[in-house]
A and B are shown apart, each in its own frame.
Chain A
Amino acid sequence: MTKHTNWLVTPTTRRRFVLGTSSVIAGAALSWPNLAASTEQVMRAPELRGQNFNLDIDYQMVNFTGKNRVATTVNGSLPAPILRWKQGEKVTLRVTNHLSHDSSIHWHGMILPTHMDGVPGLSFAGIKPGATYEYQFTVQQSGTYWYHSHSGFQEQTGIYGAIVITPAQPDPIQCDRDYVVILSDWTDEDPSDVYAKLKKQSHYYNRQERTAADTWDEIKDKGVKQTWRERKMWNQMRMSDRDISDVTGATYTFLMNGQTPEQGWTGLFNKGEKVRLRFINAAAMTLFDVRIPNVKMTVVAADGQNIEAVTIDDFRIGVAETYDVIVEPEADKAHTIIAQAIDRTGFAYGVLTPDVNMKAELAELDPAPILTMADMGMNHGEMTDMVEMQPMDMSGEMGHQMDHSMHLAMASEMGSGKAGYGSDKAIKHKQTEFGPQVDMRAEMPMYKLDDPGIGLRDHAEKYGRKVLTYADLRNLYQTPDPREPEREVQLHLTGNMTRYMWSIDGVKYADAEPIILKYGERLRFTLVNDTMMSHPMHLHGMWSELETGDGEHIPRKHTIIVQPGSKVSYLVTADARGRWAYHCHLMFHMLSMFREVRVI
């Protein structure tokens, strides 16, 4: 695939979008035993087009688990209606809040004036109960985005929907069918109860904890001495290698286009068609690993922006990220779309099929990931410390992991300091990172751009499946701002998992000063993850240009996963004046792992 070519150009005329029409028949395509009655109650997402939109936020009865619950929805739909805009057009969105609490809508990934960004306290005061706020802005970009409430926990309870923007110029990505695939997580619990439970017992939802049986297996496998040595660091640090997700399938039902796994979402296609799937992760707390067994996916856009096509079998989608993929499934069978939760406690499920009567085989879940020493960002010195009993013996799993991480480091440690190649600055832990609010600091965080991440690392070796990594992302177009960064802001993502406290540089939002950017400047953000969770970091209002090792084609993203114990760098052109939110998009981290970025 050469750069800058319109790939996938197809002679067939593009058909009318058929999104949504298939959801009603989802039940018929599958013979799951307990088809819940929820589709009757929750409308499938309608499509709204044009330049004027009325969106009404209200309560809505839903039933995803057999129990009736009250959701918050837009126009009575969960997910919210798909908004179809055209690049270059001015859109007006009148959002009315019928809830008894303040509400808001944030247009995620949209480049727009700060007072249209929908973040209460920064962009505006929020939408009071009974009030209407009129959003109006010119659509500057094209691609797949989404929108959600930025108030309370309303996103968790249903206020999220897709935005699809048709480009002003002919779309370089041609397809015959075009579907939005919006992934999310639903809980019957009140999200504030979930948050309270995590504060009281942070492992509350983890039902895959390490047990005596695991340790016994390891002893049988490796002997007492080696097992003890491997357990030592974890035990001393009081951390668990099974701590993958804070909130799990123990309370979540994972949804694909608002459909439970029992219902399944259905997308239709005909023989020979190219199908564009616009994946959006609108979950509150769940990273998903997506694949369509036996179907190659060609990723053509990341976070709405076109990239050089890359063909893969699996991809991880962080909370708030979007990926557009093109698939050409074989026509004689139905294909499963499976989005496994990162901790494998559940999945969202759908099917691509030429015929609603065809059933797809359900794919098996991959094994639950187990964290390694490399995910703590340990430096070599500490590693040696840890194996002090036999310092020269680096055999066994730990040694292997170390080799692996060192290898990754060498492969992806760019650190040239030039635009597109990452930072060459030293990692510094500020004084504020020391205290009861921070339980860990990565001593030697590395770029892990070519690391698929926990639970996906052995896929190539074990199953012959290629997994998308950030190293694969190259902008389809030239980097618009070729300037070198004038300065660098290094921020550390910090937390105390046991106390369930999250912060940046050890300081939570409530106590933090804004980050000041000078209008027009080009700078680099380097994020260091001093925790063992993946944090999808979202900067509002400006692109985050992820440095993946090609200064000419830096991909533009709005949300970037920072892997545990690693670092990531991206460039920002401060071309939008005002007050912007910058935060981890995991809902229960966001409250405190949050900064105001002020461009003056």
Chain B
Amino acid sequence: MFRLVTLFIALSCANVSYAAGMVDDPILMMVKIDQLEIGDDDNSAWGVQAWIGKDINKLWLKTEGELSNSDVEGAEFQLLYSRAIAPYWDAQIGWRHDIKPEPNKDWLAIGIQGLAPYFFETDLSLFMGEHGNIGLRTKFEYELMLTQKWILSPEVEANFFSKNDPDIELGSGLSDIDIGLRLRYEIEREFAPYIGIEWARHFGNTADFSRQEGESRTSVNWLAGVRIWF
């Protein structure tokens, strides 16, 4: 990992040039708290992405997770080197670490993130975990501008795994699908409270694990949250 960071810093600093005394490509940092929300079942969740870097090369941090009655149920971190490879696409590679559910898991993450035709924000990740388990995550989001301030944003996420992992109740094949619909109001570009609804369902072996635990395989939640970036 340190090698990655070093590589990144080297790539960033290699090209400090000036156009008539101006830096065209400064090192910038962006933190995007896309989701910070509480559901009607008192569960809360976060989804944050942050990057530091320049136009082409960036260091990217992604984290998401959820709390149930102030206990962390799931918490995942990804630290990625990201490189612009096409006008709308970044290729990403790095390390994913799951703190919860226990036991901790480490994955090699390889992904592609960007904007697909028809303005679908897309994040496709392949995770290579311990014992040869391979996960695939596909995420799509669309932003429908109702007005300049009201934005309706549907989102779909699906997770697949190559193997069963009973420790963390994940089954092979299609594991889960989450469909969310969030309506936000941009008070400022950077600050937008939202309400939403999320439908989630477990499939296949994952659903079986849920049933064994006495959990329902489908959940529907109303949400309220805030989207912040800076």
Q: Bound state CA distance, A438 and B115, in angstroms? A: 15
Which of A150, A152, A236 is the one whose CB lies under 8 Å from B117? A236
Contact stretch, chosen from B15-23, B69-77, B160-168, B170-178: B15-23
22 examples of A-B residue contacts, CB within 8 angstroms? A102-B21, A122-B20, A153-B22, A200-B28, A200-B229, A204-B189, A212-B146, A235-B117, A238-B115, A238-B118, A435-B86, A436-B56, A437-B87, A439-B87, A498-B87, A499-B84, A499-B87, A501-B25, A509-B19, A510-B25, A583-B19, A591-B19
Q: With A200-B30, A501-B55, A509-B17 known to touch, is A209 a contact of B189 (CB < 8 Å)?
A: no
Q: CB-CB contacts of B193-214 with A at 8 A, as 1s and 0s?
A: 0000000000000000000000
Whether A496 touches B145, Cβ cut-off 8 Å, given contacts A509-B17, A591-B19, is no
* A438 vs B88: C-alpha distance when bound (angstroms): 10
Those of A117-147 within 8 Å (CB) of chain B: 119-122, 126
Q: Does B147 contact A (CB under 8 A)?
A: yes
B6 beta carbon closer than 8 Å to chain A:
no
Extra inter-chain contacts (12) besides given A102-B21, A200-B30, A437-B87, CB under 8 Å: A195-B26, A200-B229, A204-B189, A213-B146, A236-B118, A238-B88, A435-B86, A436-B85, A436-B87, A508-B24, A510-B18, A592-B19
A205 to B78, CA, bound (A): 31
Residues in A499-529 with C-beta less than 8 Å from chain B: 499, 501, 508-511
* CB closest chain-A residue, reference B148: A207
With A200-B30, A211-B145, A211-B146 known as contacts, the answer to whether A437 contacts B55 (CB < 8 A) is yes
Asked if A212 and B145 make an inter-chain contact with CB atoms under 8 angstroms apart, the answer reads yes
Query: A592 to chain B: which residues have CB within 8 Å?
Result: 19, 24-25
Known contacts A199-B28, A201-B189, A498-B87; is-contact A594 B148 (Cβ 8 Å): no
Chain A residues, Cβ within 8 Å of B117: 235-238
Is there an interface contact between A196 and B145, defined as CB atoms closer than 8 Å?
no
Give complex CA distance A510, B145 in Å.
37
User: Is B28's CB under 8 angstroms from A196's CB?
Assistant: yes
Q: Which residue of B lies closest to A209 (CB)?
A: B145
List the B side residues contacting A591 at CB < 8 Å.
Answer: 19, 22-24
A238 to B55, CA, bound (A): 19
A-B pairs, top 7 by smallest CB distance, nearest first, are: A510-B17, A591-B24, A436-B84, A592-B24, A439-B87, A120-B21, A509-B19
> Which single member of A196, A209, A238, A509 contacts B26 (CB below 8 Å)?
A196
Contact flag A235-B118 (CB < 8 Å), given A212-B144, A436-B86, A501-B55: yes
Chain B interface residue count, CB cutoff 8 Å, equals: 32
Q: Which residue of B lies closest to A495 (CB)?
A: B87
If A207-B148, A238-B119 touch, whether A498 touches B20 (CB-CB below 8 Å) is no
Report which residue of A192, A509, A591 has the largest number of chain B beta carbons within 10 angstroms of its beta carbon. Answer: A591
Q: How far is the CB of A399 from chain B (nearest CB, A)?
A: 23
> Which residues of chain B are within 8 angstroms of A237 by Cβ–Cβ distance?
117
CB atoms of B21 and A499 under 8 A apart? no
CB within 8 Å of B: which A175-204 residues: 192, 195-196, 199-201, 204
| Chain A interface, >50% SS class | loop
- Find chain B residues with CB under 8 A from A581 CB: 20
Task: Bits for B94-128, please: 1 = Cβ < 8 Å to A, else 0.
Answer: 00000000000000000000010111000000000
Within 8 A of B (CB), among A138-182: 150-153
> Is A590 an interface residue when CB atoms closer than 8 A count as contact?
yes
B18 / chain A contacts, CB cutoff of 8 Å: 121, 510
The reply to whether A211 and B147 contact each other, CB–CB distance below 8 Å, is yes
Interface residues, chain A, with chain B CB atoms under 8 Å away = 102, 104, 119-122, 126, 150-153, 192, 195-196, 199-201, 204, 207-213, 235-238, 435-439, 496, 498-499, 501, 508-511, 581, 583, 590-592, 594
Q: Shortest beta-carbon distance, A120 to chain B, in Å?
A: 4
Distance between Cα atoms of A236 and B229 in the complex (Å): 27
Query: Is the Cβ of A496 less than 8 Å from the Cβ of B87?
Result: yes
Residue-wise, chain B 38-49 has the 8 Å CB interface mask toward A (1 for contact) of 000000000000
A209 to B19, alpha carbons, bound, how many Å? 31
B206 to chain A, nearest CB (A): 34
Whether B19 pairs with A594 at a CB distance below 8 angstroms is: yes
Closest B residue to A153 by beta carbon equals: B22
Among A104, A195, A436, A583, the one with the most B-chain Cβ atoms within 10 Å of its Cβ is A436
Within 8 A of A (CB), among B137-167: 144-148
Report how far A192 CA is from B20 CA in the complex, Å: 15
Q: Which residues of A contact B119 (CB under 8 A)?
A: 235, 238
Please tell me if the beta carbons of B15 and A121 are within 8 angstroms of each other in the complex: no
Contact A126 B21 (CB under 8 A): yes
A194 vs chain B, min Cβ distance (A): 12
Q: Which residue of A lies closest to B89 (CB)?
A: A436
In the complex formed, the residue of A with least CB distance to B56 is: A436
C-alpha gap A594/B17 in the complex (Å):
12
Mark each residue of chain B from 41 to 68: 1 if its CB lies under 8 Å from any CB of chain A, else 0: 0000000000000011000000000000
A514 and B90 CA atoms in complex are apart in Å by 30
Which chain B residues border A152 with CB–CB below 8 Å? 21-22
Q: Which residues of A contact B23 (CB under 8 A)?
A: 591
Docked CA distance A213–B152 (Å) = 13
User: Chain A residues near B19 (CB, 8 Å)?
Assistant: 121, 509-510, 583, 590-592, 594
Q: For residue A381, give the distance in angstroms from its CB to the closest CB of chain B.
A: 19
Q: Closest chain B residue to A589 by CB distance?
A: B24
In the complex, chain A residues whose CB is within 8 Å of the CB of B85 = 436
Which residues of chain B are near A437, meaning CB under 8 Å?
Answer: 55-56, 84, 87
Q: A438–B147 contact, CB under 8 A?
A: no
Kindly list chain B residues whose C-beta atoms are within 8 Å of the C-beta of A439.
Answer: 87-88
Min CB distance B22 to A, Å, is 5
Residues of A within 8 A of B189 (CB): 201, 204
How far is the CB of B40 from the nearest CB of chain A, in Å?
A: 27
CA distance A481 to B192 in the complex (A): 60
Q: Which residue of B lies closest to A200 (CB)?
A: B30
Q: Least Cβ distance of B24 to chain A in Å?
A: 3
CB distance from B43 to the nearest CB of A (A): 30
Task: List the B side residues contacting A510 at CB < 8 Å.
Answer: 15, 17-19, 24-25
Alpha-carbon separation in the docked complex, A437 to B54 (Å): 12
In the complex, the answer to whether B21 meets A150 with C-beta atoms within 8 Å is: yes
Q: How far apart sit A211 and B89, CA to CA, in the bound complex (Å)? A: 25
Note all chain B residues with C-beta closer than 8 A to A120. Answer: 20-21
Residue from A102, A151, A204, A499 having most chain B Cβ neighbours under 10 A? A499
Q: Which residue of A lies closest to B51 (CB)?
A: A200
Q: Which of B20, B23, B85 has the most CB of A within 10 A?
A: B20
CA distance A431 to B19 in the complex (A): 23
Q: Which residue of A lies closest to B117 (CB)?
A: A236
Q: In the complex, which residue of chain A has the Cβ closest to the Cβ of B54?
A: A199
Residues of A within 8 A of B148 (CB): 207-209, 211
Find chain B residues with CB under 8 A from A195 CB: 26
- Docked Cα-Cα span, A435 to B15, in Å, equals 18
Q: A209-B145, A235-B117 are in contact. Are A121 and B21 (CB under 8 A)?
A: yes
**B85 to A, closest residue via Cβ:** A436
Residues of chain A with a CB closer than 8 A to B56's CB: 436-437
B147 touches A213 (CB 8 A): yes
Set of chain B residues within 8 Å of A119, measured between Cβ atoms: 20
A483 to B15, CA, bound (A): 42
A508 x B118 contact (CB < 8 A): no
A151 and B21 contact, CB distance less than 8 A: yes
